[in-house]
């Protein structure tokens, strides 16, 4: 991790503690993202305060200025926020998903409709708590879905939630045993976790999309398979055509654009 980023994290930690203790909130914060292909305006949600305050601090610190959209998948999303993407001379720059993270803030009111702003993260295998990357975000382009397709998506989401919880139970059990000085085999740890999982499932409420969500996914589109497992914390209010323009650029086999798409400047225009 470079010196700039270490300094940034230390500074951010102090500011974030202060901002979380501050009374009141930022009602409908609007952010302007100026890119090399046009401008996008985004509204940050008050219902995800940790992500909102984190993003506001990053914007005010100038963190996103000069960063690229380093991952673009047409009909899915455009992703940015890796500090290493400032160095355009290094096309194989490392991913920053392993730097600082913040807790997930899942809210059924916020979902992956077209134009949704959400936090990237590492996969469930290494991140069972589904914590968000502190810096990387993506904007959903998505496609439209049928009712049958949405039914299948719901089943997949519930499966992912259960598997993630089971992974968490295994980790918690193993950590507890290690701290107590006890030794058990992997099979014994899984057996203990399975008993706890059974108790969890007796009270588990299946994830189910609202009629509003279904209608939006059928008429406007989005990426519903990420609901309930990735934190959505805002939405595009202007510039969806720019999102479409960015998502249409040619990319290589690693989903990196062949021509650099830069974020020129990000600023708060309403707070």
If asked whether residues 114 and 81 sit together in one domain, one would say yes
Tell me how many domains the chain contains.
2
Residue 134 counted as domain residue: yes
Q: Are residues 22 and 64 in the same domain?
A: yes
Q: Are residues 232 and 103 in the same domain?
A: yes
- Answer yes or no: do 254 and 129 share one domain: yes
User: What pLDDT was estimated at residue 260?
Assistant: 93
Query: Which pairing describes strands 263-270 and 137-140: parallel, antiparallel, or unpaired?
Result: unpaired
Strands (E), 114-247: 116-119, 132-133, 137-140, 232-238
Distance CA 60, CA 268 (A): 8
Is 141 within 8 Å of 243 (Cβ atoms)? yes
pLDDT reading at 15 higher than 50: no
In tens, the pLDDT along 201-249 reads 999 989 899 999 999 999 999 999 999 999 999 999 999 999 999 999 9
Mapped onto helix, strand or coil, the DSSP state of residue 227 is coil
pLDDT at 92: 54
The model's pLDDT over 30-50, given as tens digits with 9 standing for 90+, comes to 999 999 999 999 999 999 999
Which pair of tokens denotes residue 161?
A: 């939630």
Looking at the fold, whether 164 and 126 belong to one and the same domain comes out as no
Does 252 lie in the same domain as 155? Answer: no
């Amino acid at each position: 991790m470079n010196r700039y980023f270490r300094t940034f994290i230390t500074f951010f930690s102090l500011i974030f503690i202060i901002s979380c203790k501050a009374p009141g909130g930022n009602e409908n914060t609007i952010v302007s993202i100026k890119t090399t292909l046009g401008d996008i305006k985004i509204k940050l949600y008050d219902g995800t305060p940790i992500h909102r305050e984190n993003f506001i601090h990053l914007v005010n610190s100038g963190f996103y200025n000069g960063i690229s959209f380093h991952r673009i998948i047409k009909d899915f999303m455009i992703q940015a926020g890796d500090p290493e993407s400032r160095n355009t001379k290094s096309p194989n720059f490392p991913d920053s998903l392993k730097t600082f993270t913040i807790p997930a803030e899942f809210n059924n009111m916020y979902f992956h409709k077209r134009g949704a702003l959400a936090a990237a993260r590492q996969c469930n295998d290494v991140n069972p708590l589904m914590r968000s990357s502190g810096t990387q975000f993506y904007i959903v382009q998505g496609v439209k879905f049928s009712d049958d397709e949405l039914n299948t998506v719901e089943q997949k989401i519930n499966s992912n939630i259960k598997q993630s919880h089971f992974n968490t139970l295994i980790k918690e059990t193993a950590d507890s045993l290690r701290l107590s000085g006890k030794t058990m085999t992997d099979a014994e740890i899984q057996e203990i976790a399975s008993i706890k999982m059974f108790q969890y499932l007796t009270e588990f409420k299946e994830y189910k999309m609202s009629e509003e969500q279904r209608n939006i996914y059928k008429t406007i589109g989005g990426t519903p398979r990420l609901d309930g497992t990735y934190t959505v914390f805002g939405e595009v209010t202007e510039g969806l055509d720019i999102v479409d323009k960015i998502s249409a650029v040619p990319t290589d086999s690693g989903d990196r654009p062949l021509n650099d798409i830069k974020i020129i400047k990000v600023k708060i225009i309403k707070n």
